[in-house]
Amino acid sequence: MSVRVPRRCGTHGVTTIWKGPVMATITIKNVWKYYGDTAAVKHLDITCPDGSFVSILGPSGCGKSSTMRMLAGLEHISSGDIFFDDLRINDLAPKDRDVAMVFENYALYPHKSVFENIANPLRLRKTEEKAIKERVEAAARLLEIDHLLDRRPHELSGGQKQRVAIGRAIVRQPKLFLFDEPIAHLDAKLRAHMRGEIKHLQRELGTTMIYVTHDQLEALSMADYIAVMHDGELQQWGTPSEIFNHPVNAWVAGFVGEPAMNFLTCDVIGEGDSVSLRHRNFDIPLLPQQVRQLNGGAAAGRARMGVRPDALDIALERPGGPSITGEIFVNELLGGDMLVEVALADTRVRVKTTPEFTGKPGQTCHLTVNRDKWHVFDTTDGHAYF
């Protein structure tokens, strides 16, 4: 399948649809959602700034979809408040909230043509016929589906249905866009293409967007801010680089990043300024400021060290500084990179290196840790010391 690169995406397309950006600051204040006795969302507090692209990231069942449905008005808010600017929208019907939503399964109307699908929000607001035609056509041009307007949804491919669904959302000027895993069902190549398109679209339109996904790559690559959720609780709020480089706990650190972070349970040895992490395969001292950040934590003398595959260097000869000694388990060539899995005494770690690496499975190797980029987590509650 060939991915079509947009001929013309941008300002002149948008300006014919909309007059100027309408934005809103979305404030979620101590929101809870119960299904029976089960809490799906727990004391959620999020503030999405005007015009920002916010991604709610988490595995299935983490409460991200419930949050979105509460924003859209499709679920009742059990307790807490949601504000669009200063307007409390808890008790407003979906049609009065002025949001536009793109559903995971597109939710197109099968008995209507593409044109009528996109025109639906305008028709429901009694827009005059001439304006409907203009705006639907402008939206279709922007999304490059203007040649499909007469078709029915069942005649479209997955990517085209997706564009129609987005067209239906952007045809009118809502305060807030809600995207519920909109590209989860597309094939990998098209998904990568649509990521860029959606990001671009949001920049052009300037409207606040909340984008729910379970794919950390989508969140990292598109969002201005990410809210990581797990078990109904907000784990961390921050920019993609904050989430990636400074995860607040071991769960976030393990969920974000591909290939995933390596975790090693170590003993914390030493006092005063010289503290080191000791494992059967290594004994590496902390940097001075990291000793202060640890600040006598890890009381039981245990901690979890976390290090991403690209913060490790692998070599066959023992390097000068402190290193981890292990045995190569398997090499995986990933095009421009090579991923080496190294067996330690009780676990395996993955290291990202260059394809020029010559080690063979079974050979002894030495890993150097980039200590600016490693993390130490508490063994009991998992919070990050640094």
Partner 1 sequence: MTEATHFGKEGAFRLAGDLFRAREHSTEVEARPISDPKPRPTSFNPPAPKRYYLYLMAPAIAILAFISLYPFFWLIVLSLQDVDIGGGEWVGFKNYARLLQDPRFKDGWILLLQYSAMCLGLQLTIGMILAVIVNNSKYEKFLVTALLMPMMMAPAVAGLLWLFLYNGTFGWYHWIFQSIGLLDSASILATPGTALYGIVLVDVWQWTPLITLIALAGLKRVPRDQLEANMVDGASPMRNFFAITLPNLYPVLLIAVLLRFMDNFRFIDHILVLTGGGPGSATKILPVYLFEVAFKFFKLGRGAAIALTLLIVTIVLGMILVRVFDKPKSGRT
Can you give the binding site for partner 1, defined by CB under 8 A?
72-74, 93-95, 97, 99-101, 103-111, 120-121, 124-125, 152-154, 161, 168, 178
What's the min distance (Å) between Cβ of 112 and partner 1? Answer: 9
Q: What 3-state DSSP class applies to 272?
A: coil
What's the min distance (Å) between Cβ of 122 and partner 1? Answer: 9
- The pair of structure tokens assigned to 286 is 């902390």
Query: For residues 97 and 214, which CB has a smaller minimum distance to partner 1 in the complex?
Result: 97
What's the min distance (Å) between Cβ of 187 and partner 1? Answer: 17
CA distance 118 to 59: 31
Q: Are 384 and 253 in contact (CB under 8 A)?
A: yes
Q: From 135, 194, 192, 195, select the one nearest 167 (Cα to Cα).
A: 135
Query: For residues 15 and 105, which CB has a smaller minimum distance to partner 1 in the complex?
Result: 105
The alpha carbon of 345 is separated from its chain's Cα centroid by a whole number of angstroms, namely 34
Query: For residues 154 and 360, which CB has a smaller minimum distance to partner 1 in the complex?
Result: 154
* 90: phi then psi, degrees, rounded to nearest 5: -45, -45
Per the listing, tokens 């990410």 go with 226
What's the min distance (Å) between Cβ of 109 and partner 1? Answer: 6
Looking at residue 171, its amino acid is V
What's the min distance (Å) between Cβ of 139 and partner 1? Answer: 14
What's the min distance (Å) between Cβ of 14 and partner 1? Answer: 20
What's the min distance (Å) between Cβ of 105 and partner 1? Answer: 5
Query: For residues 34 and 103, which CB has a smaller minimum distance to partner 1 in the complex?
Result: 103
Query: For residues 171 and 284, which CB has a smaller minimum distance to partner 1 in the complex?
Result: 171
Q: What 3-state DSSP class applies to 96?
A: helix
- The pair of structure tokens assigned to 11 is 């300002």
Query: For residues 98 and 242, which CB has a smaller minimum distance to partner 1 in the complex?
Result: 98
Per the listing, tokens 């895993």 go with 181
Query: For residues 95 and 348, which CB has a smaller minimum distance to partner 1 in the complex?
Result: 95
The H-assigned helical ranges of 144-227 are 158-170, 188-205, 216-222
CA distance 31 to 13: 38
The alpha carbon of 176 is separated from its chain's Cα centroid by a whole number of angstroms, namely 18
Q: Are 268 and 303 in contact (CB under 8 A)?
A: yes
* 136: phi then psi, degrees, rounded to nearest 5: -65, -40
What's the min distance (Å) between Cβ of 168 and partner 1? Answer: 7
Q: Are 160 and 145 in contact (CB under 8 A)?
A: yes
What's the min distance (Å) between Cβ of 185 and partner 1? Answer: 11
What's the min distance (Å) between Cβ of 161 and partner 1? Answer: 6
When computed from its CA atoms, the radius of gyration of the chain, rounded to whole angstroms, is: 25
Query: For residues 5 and 74, which CB has a smaller minimum distance to partner 1 in the complex?
Result: 74
CA distance 6 to 4: 6
Query: For residues 64 and 308, which CB has a smaller minimum distance to partner 1 in the complex?
Result: 64
Q: Are 173 and 208 in contact (CB under 8 A)?
A: no
Query: For residues 210 and 234, which CB has a smaller minimum distance to partner 1 in the complex?
Result: 210
Bridge partners, residue 263, by sequence: 306
CA distance 41 to 286: 38
SS3 of the chain: helix, strand, coil, percent, to 5: 30, 35, 40
